[in-house]
Amino acid sequence: MWCSRMALRRLQKIAVTPLNITGVLTSNIQREMSTLPRIYVTRQIPPEGLKILRESGQVQFELWNSDDIPVPRKELLQKVKGVDGLLCTLTEKIDAELLDAAGPNLKVLSTMSVGFDHLSLDELKKRGIRIGYTPEVLTDAVAELTVALLLATSRRLIEATHEAKTGGWGTWRTLWLCGYELANSTVGILGLGRIGVAIAERLAPFKVKKFIYTDVAPRPELASAINAEYVSFDELAKQSDFLAVCCALTPETKEICNKNLFSKMKKTSIFINTSRGGVVNQEDLYEALSTGQIAGAGLDVTVPEPLPTNHPLFTLKNCVILPHIASASYTTRDAMSSLAANNLLLGLRGQPMIKELKL
C-alpha cells in the first residue's frame, strides 16, 4: 500500500526520462515537436502532473485550462480528434461517441481517478485502447475523510455548529445534541479493499468492539489485518452500528443500498458512503432518515454531482453531505496527477504502466 507522500516522491523520481534535444536548432526542435504524439488533457490537473508532461519532451499536449468548469462536451469531441493519448478525470464520460470522434490514433487513456465507471470499458477493449488509473495513492486521504465524516455525522457536529452560530446555544441540557459513540460498537464495511482496511485501522483506537464486512467473497488476507469477520449482506445490515460503504460501482452494486438494507439496520445506526453515489438509492435513504429508520447518514458522493440544492436530502438535519472531497488533500491530488501523467507517457511508449486497468 502506498502512502500518498511516499507515492508522490516516488512518482517524481520515476517520471519518464525526458528527450535530450540540447543544442538542436529551433527549427529542428519545432519539427521534432510536430511529430511527437498528441495528447489532450481534459482538466487543469495539479501541477506535478503537468510538470511531468511538459518536461518529458515526449508529447505535445493541449489542455482545458480550467479546474472550475469541466470541458463542454462539444468542445471535448472537437479536441480529441486525432489524439494519440487522453488524460481525463471522472467528470468526462468516455463512451463510443467520444472514441469515434477521437479516431484510430487513440491508443492510451489515463484517468486521474481510482474509479472507472465513467469509462465504457467494452468500447475501450474493442478498440484495443490501454487504460491507466490511479488507485492506492488516495487510500490515506479517503480513509481520513471517511472517519471525519463518520464522526461529524454520529456526533452531530454540523448541527452543533449551526446552533452555536444562530443562537440555539442556550442553557446546558441533558440530552441536547447527543450522538453515538464508537466505543464498544460494531463497524461494518461493505466492500473490503485497501480503503476499507485503512478506515478500520484508523477507527480501531476508538475502542471499536468488532469489525465485520461483506464482499463478493471472503477476503481473509485483508480481513486478518483488522481482525474483521466475514458476514452476509443481511447480517452486515443487522449488526452494524456504523456502516461504511467502500465498494466499487458495478452493475451488481448499483443501488445495492436501498430500502432492503435500511429496513434491516438498527434505528441507532449511522450510514456512511464515500465510494460512489450510484450504490445508494437516494429516495430510499431519504425515507429511512426522515422516518427514523436509521439515525443518520454521511455522504461524500451523490447522484447527480453536484446534488441540486433543492434535493430533499439537504432538508434533513441527520444527513451530512460533502461535495466529493474524499481525496482532496494537496499531497494526494499531486500524487494522482503524477501517476496519471506517468501512466500516459509509459503507455504511449508501449511500456508497462505503473497502474494499468487490465481488460
The phi and psi torsions of 75 (rounded to 5 degrees) equal -65, -45
Catalytic residue among 118, 162, 311, 324: 324
Residue 137 near residue 336 (C-beta atoms within 8 A): yes
What is the C-alpha radius of gyration for the chain, rounded to an integer number of angstroms? 23
147 within 8 A of 202, measured Cβ to Cβ? yes
Is 324 a catalytic site residue?
yes
114: DSSP letter: S
Here the cell at position 246 is: 467502500
> Residue 216: what are its φ and ψ, rounded to 5°?
-65, -25
Q: Exposure pattern of 48-83 as b/e (b: 16+ CB <10 Å)?
A: bbbbbbeebbbbbbebbeeeeeebeeeebeebbeeb
Strands 319-321 and 242-245: unpaired
Taking the C-alpha atoms of residue 357 and residue 341, their distance in angstroms, rounded to an integer, is: 15
Give CA–CA dist 309/288, Å, rounded: 20
Give yes or no for a contact between 326 and 298, defined as CB atoms under 8 angstroms apart. Answer: no
Angstrom CA distances, 340 to 6, 92, 325, stand at 16, 15, 19
Angle at 171 between CA 165 and CA 174, to 5 degrees: 110
Distance CA 359, CA 357 (A): 6
Cα torsion 15, 20, 26, 30: sign: negative
> Among residues 196, 172, 294, which one has the least CA distance to residue 237?
294
Look at the block and give the residue holding cell 422516518.
291
**What is the rounded distance in angstroms from the CA atom of residue 281 to the CA atom of residue 278?**
7
- Point out the residues that are catalytic: 324
